[in-house]
Structure 1
Amino acid sequence: MRIRHTKTAGALFGLGVLAAVLTGCSAPAPAPSSTGNANVAPATDLPRASLTCTDGKAVLTENNVQATLSGPCDTVEVKASNSILDLGSVKHVIVSGSINLIRAGEVGSVELTADGNIVTTKGTPSVTDHGKGNEITAAH
Protein backbone atom coordinates (compact mmCIF):
# COMPACT_ATOMS: atom_id res chain seq x y z
CA MET A 1 0.00 0.00 0.00
CA ARG A 2 1.32 3.41 -0.93
CA ILE A 3 0.22 6.88 0.04
CA ARG A 4 0.71 9.48 -2.67
CA HIS A 5 -0.10 13.14 -2.96
CA THR A 6 -1.36 14.08 -6.43
CA LYS A 7 -3.72 16.39 -8.17
CA THR A 8 -7.08 15.14 -9.33
CA ALA A 9 -6.19 15.88 -12.97
CA GLY A 10 -3.29 13.45 -12.81
CA ALA A 11 -5.53 10.75 -11.34
CA LEU A 12 -8.16 11.35 -14.01
CA PHE A 13 -5.52 11.16 -16.76
CA GLY A 14 -4.35 7.84 -15.35
CA LEU A 15 -7.92 6.56 -15.28
CA GLY A 16 -8.38 7.55 -18.92
CA VAL A 17 -5.26 5.65 -19.94
CA LEU A 18 -6.33 2.61 -17.94
CA ALA A 19 -9.84 2.77 -19.39
CA ALA A 20 -8.40 2.71 -22.90
CA VAL A 21 -6.36 -0.37 -22.05
CA LEU A 22 -9.31 -2.10 -20.37
CA THR A 23 -11.69 -1.46 -23.27
CA GLY A 24 -9.49 -3.28 -25.76
CA CYS A 25 -7.81 -0.43 -27.59
CA SER A 26 -4.91 -1.43 -29.78
CA ALA A 27 -2.36 0.42 -27.66
CA PRO A 28 0.33 -1.86 -26.22
CA ALA A 29 0.06 -2.78 -22.54
CA PRO A 30 2.18 -0.63 -20.23
CA ALA A 31 5.51 -1.99 -19.08
CA PRO A 32 5.60 -3.39 -15.54
CA SER A 33 6.36 -0.82 -12.87
CA SER A 34 9.60 -1.00 -10.97
CA THR A 35 7.56 -0.69 -7.76
CA GLY A 36 5.55 -3.82 -8.55
CA ASN A 37 2.22 -2.00 -8.31
CA ALA A 38 -0.49 -4.18 -9.88
CA ASN A 39 -3.39 -1.72 -9.60
CA VAL A 40 -5.80 -1.56 -12.48
CA ALA A 41 -8.63 0.93 -12.15
CA PRO A 42 -12.10 0.07 -13.40
CA ALA A 43 -13.27 1.38 -16.77
CA THR A 44 -14.87 4.83 -16.67
CA ASP A 45 -17.86 4.13 -18.96
CA LEU A 46 -19.88 2.16 -16.42
CA PRO A 47 -23.65 2.24 -15.79
CA ARG A 48 -24.69 4.77 -13.12
CA ALA A 49 -26.12 3.83 -9.72
CA SER A 50 -27.13 5.66 -6.55
CA LEU A 51 -26.18 4.53 -3.07
CA THR A 52 -28.33 5.17 0.00
CA CYS A 53 -27.20 5.52 3.60
CA THR A 54 -29.49 3.69 6.04
CA ASP A 55 -28.90 3.86 9.79
CA GLY A 56 -25.44 5.34 9.23
CA LYS A 57 -24.25 2.71 6.73
CA ALA A 58 -24.16 2.42 2.93
CA VAL A 59 -23.18 -0.77 1.12
CA LEU A 60 -22.19 -1.07 -2.54
CA THR A 61 -22.74 -4.65 -3.75
CA GLU A 62 -23.33 -4.14 -7.48
CA ASN A 63 -20.29 -4.90 -9.69
CA ASN A 64 -19.28 -2.83 -12.71
CA VAL A 65 -21.09 0.43 -11.85
CA GLN A 66 -20.26 4.05 -11.18
CA ALA A 67 -22.11 4.82 -7.96
CA THR A 68 -22.66 8.04 -6.04
CA LEU A 69 -23.53 8.45 -2.39
CA SER A 70 -25.21 11.79 -1.79
CA GLY A 71 -25.32 13.12 1.74
CA PRO A 72 -23.56 12.15 4.94
CA CYS A 73 -22.89 8.61 6.11
CA ASP A 74 -20.74 7.18 8.90
CA THR A 75 -19.64 3.92 7.24
CA VAL A 76 -19.38 2.93 3.59
CA GLU A 77 -18.75 -0.71 2.70
CA VAL A 78 -17.65 -1.68 -0.81
CA LYS A 79 -18.36 -5.36 -1.50
CA ALA A 80 -18.50 -4.79 -5.28
CA SER A 81 -15.67 -5.24 -7.76
CA ASN A 82 -14.62 -3.20 -10.79
CA SER A 83 -16.65 -0.17 -9.70
CA ILE A 84 -16.21 3.54 -9.10
CA LEU A 85 -17.72 5.13 -6.00
CA ASP A 86 -17.97 8.88 -5.39
CA LEU A 87 -18.82 10.02 -1.88
CA GLY A 88 -18.39 12.92 0.50
CA SER A 89 -16.72 12.79 3.89
CA VAL A 90 -17.23 9.60 5.92
CA LYS A 91 -15.82 8.12 9.11
CA HIS A 92 -15.05 4.62 7.80
CA VAL A 93 -14.55 2.99 4.39
CA ILE A 94 -14.40 -0.82 4.32
CA VAL A 95 -13.41 -2.44 1.02
CA SER A 96 -13.81 -6.20 0.50
CA GLY A 97 -14.21 -6.08 -3.31
CA SER A 98 -11.36 -5.84 -5.82
CA ILE A 99 -10.34 -3.33 -8.49
CA ASN A 100 -12.41 -0.38 -7.28
CA LEU A 101 -11.84 3.35 -7.37
CA ILE A 102 -13.27 5.17 -4.34
CA ARG A 103 -13.17 8.99 -4.50
CA ALA A 104 -14.02 10.60 -1.17
CA GLY A 105 -13.78 13.78 0.86
CA GLU A 106 -12.35 13.42 4.36
CA VAL A 107 -12.11 9.80 5.57
CA GLY A 108 -11.28 8.78 9.14
CA SER A 109 -10.22 5.20 8.41
CA VAL A 110 -9.88 2.79 5.49
CA GLU A 111 -9.88 -1.00 5.82
CA LEU A 112 -8.92 -3.05 2.75
CA THR A 113 -9.24 -6.84 2.62
CA ALA A 114 -9.08 -7.32 -1.17
CA ASP A 115 -6.67 -6.39 -3.95
CA GLY A 116 -6.12 -3.66 -6.54
CA ASN A 117 -8.20 -0.85 -5.02
CA ILE A 118 -7.52 2.88 -5.18
CA VAL A 119 -8.94 5.19 -2.53
CA THR A 120 -8.54 8.91 -3.23
CA THR A 121 -9.27 11.12 -0.24
CA LYS A 122 -8.48 14.48 1.29
CA GLY A 123 -6.25 14.20 4.32
CA THR A 124 -4.56 11.10 5.67
CA PRO A 125 -6.87 8.40 7.04
CA SER A 126 -5.71 5.56 9.25
CA VAL A 127 -5.26 2.52 7.00
CA THR A 128 -5.51 -1.22 7.60
CA ASP A 129 -4.49 -3.06 4.43
CA HIS A 130 -4.76 -6.87 4.28
CA GLY A 131 -4.83 -6.96 0.46
CA LYS A 132 -2.24 -6.52 -2.27
CA GLY A 133 -1.66 -3.67 -4.70
CA ASN A 134 -3.96 -1.22 -2.92
CA GLU A 135 -3.32 2.53 -2.96
CA ILE A 136 -4.42 5.44 -0.82
CA THR A 137 -4.02 8.67 -2.77
CA ALA A 138 -4.31 12.01 -1.01
CA ALA A 139 -5.92 14.60 -3.28
CA HIS A 140 -5.65 18.28 -2.43
Structure 2
Amino acid sequence: MRNKQLTTIAVASLAVVALAGCTGSDPSPKGSAPSASSTPADDAAGSEYAIPDVSGECVDGTATIVDDSSNVTIDGDCADVVVEASNSVVTVTGAVVNLTFNSSITLVNVATVDTIVFVEGANGNKAATSSTPVVTDAGEGNTVAAE
Protein backbone atom coordinates (compact mmCIF):
# COMPACT_ATOMS: atom_id res chain seq x y z
CA MET A 1 0.00 0.00 0.00
CA ARG A 2 2.85 2.38 0.87
CA ASN A 3 4.54 1.85 -2.52
CA LYS A 4 1.25 2.63 -4.29
CA GLN A 5 0.96 5.90 -2.31
CA LEU A 6 4.54 6.87 -3.15
CA THR A 7 3.94 6.09 -6.82
CA THR A 8 0.77 8.20 -6.83
CA ILE A 9 2.59 11.10 -5.16
CA ALA A 10 5.48 10.85 -7.65
CA VAL A 11 3.13 10.83 -10.67
CA ALA A 12 1.19 13.79 -9.28
CA SER A 13 4.43 15.73 -8.68
CA LEU A 14 5.60 15.10 -12.24
CA ALA A 15 2.26 16.27 -13.60
CA VAL A 16 2.51 19.52 -11.62
CA VAL A 17 6.06 20.11 -12.92
CA ALA A 18 4.99 19.41 -16.51
CA LEU A 19 2.01 21.74 -16.27
CA ALA A 20 4.11 24.48 -14.70
CA GLY A 21 6.08 24.72 -17.93
CA CYS A 22 2.83 25.18 -19.88
CA THR A 23 1.46 28.02 -17.79
CA GLY A 24 4.31 30.51 -18.26
CA SER A 25 3.58 33.68 -20.16
CA ASP A 26 5.75 35.49 -22.66
CA PRO A 27 6.87 38.73 -20.94
CA SER A 28 7.80 40.44 -24.24
CA PRO A 29 5.19 42.73 -25.78
CA LYS A 30 3.46 41.42 -28.90
CA GLY A 31 4.88 42.68 -32.14
CA SER A 32 8.27 43.62 -30.72
CA ALA A 33 11.46 42.52 -32.37
CA PRO A 34 13.30 39.71 -30.65
CA SER A 35 16.21 40.91 -28.57
CA ALA A 36 19.71 39.53 -28.89
CA SER A 37 20.64 37.24 -26.06
CA SER A 38 23.46 38.44 -23.88
CA THR A 39 26.73 36.58 -23.71
CA PRO A 40 28.99 36.22 -20.67
CA ALA A 41 31.41 38.69 -22.27
CA ASP A 42 28.60 41.25 -22.61
CA ASP A 43 27.59 40.73 -18.99
CA ALA A 44 31.18 41.11 -17.73
CA ALA A 45 31.78 44.25 -19.79
CA GLY A 46 28.83 45.99 -18.12
CA SER A 47 29.82 44.89 -14.64
CA GLU A 48 31.33 47.41 -12.28
CA TYR A 49 32.52 44.76 -9.83
CA ALA A 50 36.25 44.16 -9.63
CA ILE A 51 37.76 41.46 -7.46
CA PRO A 52 39.75 43.30 -4.81
CA ASP A 53 43.46 42.58 -4.35
CA VAL A 54 44.35 42.23 -0.67
CA SER A 55 47.73 41.88 1.03
CA GLY A 56 47.74 39.20 3.69
CA GLU A 57 49.86 39.66 6.78
CA CYS A 58 51.80 37.02 8.65
CA VAL A 59 51.94 38.23 12.25
CA ASP A 60 53.94 36.19 14.76
CA GLY A 61 54.00 33.27 12.31
CA THR A 62 50.24 33.21 11.56
CA ALA A 63 48.14 34.67 8.76
CA THR A 64 44.35 34.48 8.95
CA ILE A 65 42.59 35.23 5.67
CA VAL A 66 39.05 36.59 6.13
CA ASP A 67 38.40 38.56 2.92
CA ASP A 68 35.66 36.78 0.92
CA SER A 69 35.69 37.04 -2.87
CA SER A 70 39.20 38.48 -3.01
CA ASN A 71 42.67 37.89 -4.44
CA VAL A 72 44.90 37.68 -1.38
CA THR A 73 48.70 37.57 -1.48
CA ILE A 74 51.01 36.68 1.40
CA ASP A 75 54.61 37.49 0.52
CA GLY A 76 57.24 35.17 1.96
CA ASP A 77 57.14 32.34 4.48
CA CYS A 78 54.41 31.97 7.10
CA ALA A 79 54.29 29.03 9.52
CA ASP A 80 50.49 28.89 9.86
CA VAL A 81 47.95 30.06 7.30
CA VAL A 82 44.26 29.83 8.22
CA VAL A 83 41.82 30.46 5.36
CA GLU A 84 38.39 31.54 6.57
CA ALA A 85 37.52 33.50 3.43
CA SER A 86 35.29 31.80 0.87
CA ASN A 87 35.26 32.21 -2.89
CA SER A 88 38.76 33.65 -2.89
CA VAL A 89 42.18 33.05 -4.42
CA VAL A 90 45.06 33.07 -1.94
CA THR A 91 48.69 33.05 -3.04
CA VAL A 92 51.53 32.39 -0.61
CA THR A 93 54.91 33.06 -2.23
CA GLY A 94 56.92 31.27 0.46
CA ALA A 95 56.81 28.15 2.60
CA VAL A 96 53.94 27.20 4.92
CA VAL A 97 54.09 24.61 7.70
CA ASN A 98 50.34 24.30 8.41
CA LEU A 99 47.57 25.35 5.99
CA THR A 100 44.02 25.15 7.37
CA PHE A 101 40.87 25.60 5.30
CA ASN A 102 37.78 26.76 7.18
CA SER A 103 36.18 28.02 3.98
CA SER A 104 34.44 26.95 0.78
CA ILE A 105 35.31 27.36 -2.89
CA THR A 106 38.76 28.80 -2.26
CA LEU A 107 41.98 28.24 -4.19
CA VAL A 108 45.29 28.49 -2.36
CA ASN A 109 48.48 28.58 -4.41
CA VAL A 110 51.40 27.87 -2.10
CA ALA A 111 55.06 27.32 -2.95
CA THR A 112 55.55 24.56 -0.34
CA VAL A 113 53.38 23.28 2.50
CA ASP A 114 53.91 20.49 5.04
CA THR A 115 50.37 19.90 6.36
CA ILE A 116 46.90 20.75 4.99
CA VAL A 117 43.70 20.44 7.02
CA PHE A 118 40.21 20.83 5.54
CA VAL A 119 37.91 21.20 8.55
CA GLU A 120 34.34 19.88 8.58
CA GLY A 121 32.19 22.11 6.38
CA ALA A 122 35.19 23.25 4.29
CA ASN A 123 33.99 22.18 0.85
CA GLY A 124 35.06 22.65 -2.77
CA ASN A 125 38.53 24.00 -2.00
CA LYS A 126 41.80 23.42 -3.82
CA ALA A 127 45.40 23.69 -2.69
CA ALA A 128 47.88 23.99 -5.55
CA THR A 129 51.45 23.19 -4.53
CA SER A 130 54.51 21.45 -5.86
CA SER A 131 55.10 19.78 -2.48
CA THR A 132 53.50 16.60 -1.13
CA PRO A 133 51.81 17.60 2.15
CA VAL A 134 50.12 15.42 4.75
CA VAL A 135 46.37 16.01 4.21
CA THR A 136 43.45 15.70 6.64
CA ASP A 137 40.10 16.22 4.92
CA ALA A 138 36.86 16.39 6.94
CA GLY A 139 35.08 18.37 4.19
CA GLU A 140 33.81 17.41 0.75
CA GLY A 141 35.10 17.99 -2.78
CA ASN A 142 38.51 19.30 -1.75
CA THR A 143 41.66 18.66 -3.78
CA VAL A 144 45.40 18.98 -3.43
CA ALA A 145 47.28 19.04 -6.71
CA ALA A 146 50.48 20.20 -8.35
CA GLU A 147 50.45 23.79 -9.49
Query: Which TM bucket (shorter chain)?
Result: 0.5 to 0.7
Alignment of 1:1-140 (within 5 A): 25=40, 46-87=51-92, 88-113=94-119, 114-139=122-147
RMSD: 1.4
> Which structure has the larger Rg?
2
SS where residue 89 of structure 1 aligns?
strand
Q: How many residues align?
A: 98
Give unpaired runs (5+ residues) of structure 2. Answer: 1-38, 42-49
Displacement of 1:25 in angstroms is 2.4
> Aligned AA for 1:94?
T
SS where residue 86 of structure 1 aligns?
strand
Alpha-carbon separation, structure 2, partners of 1:121 and 1:46 = 23
- TM-score, length-normalised on structure 2? 0.64
Alpha-carbon separation, structure 1, partners of 2:130 and 2:83 = 19
Q: What are the Cα deviations for residues 19-48 of structure 1, in whole angstroms up to 9, with x where unaligned?
A: xxxxx828xxxxxxxxxxxxxxxxxx6210
* 2:3 alignment partner in structure 1: none
Alpha-carbon separation, structure 1, partners of 2:40 and 2:142 = 25
Of Structure 1 and Structure 2, the greater strand share is in 1
Give unpaired runs (5+ residues) of structure 1. Answer: 1-23, 27-44
- TM-score, length-normalised on structure 1? 0.67
Q: Which has the higher contact order (CA 8 A, sep 6+)?
A: 1
Alpha-carbon separation, structure 2, partners of 1:81 and 1:91 = 21
> Aligned AA for 1:70?
D
Displacement of 1:133 in angstroms is 0.4
Percent identity between matched residues is 35
Of Structure 1 and Structure 2, the greater helix share is in 2
Alpha-carbon separation, structure 1, partners of 2:95 and 2:77 = 7
> Aligned AA for 2:40?
C
Q: Which runs of structure 1 show a deviation greater than 3 angstroms over 4 or more consecutive aligned residues?
A: none
Alpha-carbon separation, structure 2, partners of 1:84 and 1:120 = 11
Displacement of 1:137 in angstroms is 0.6
Alpha-carbon separation, structure 1, partners of 2:96 and 2:73 = 13
Displacement of 1:74 in angstroms is 0.2
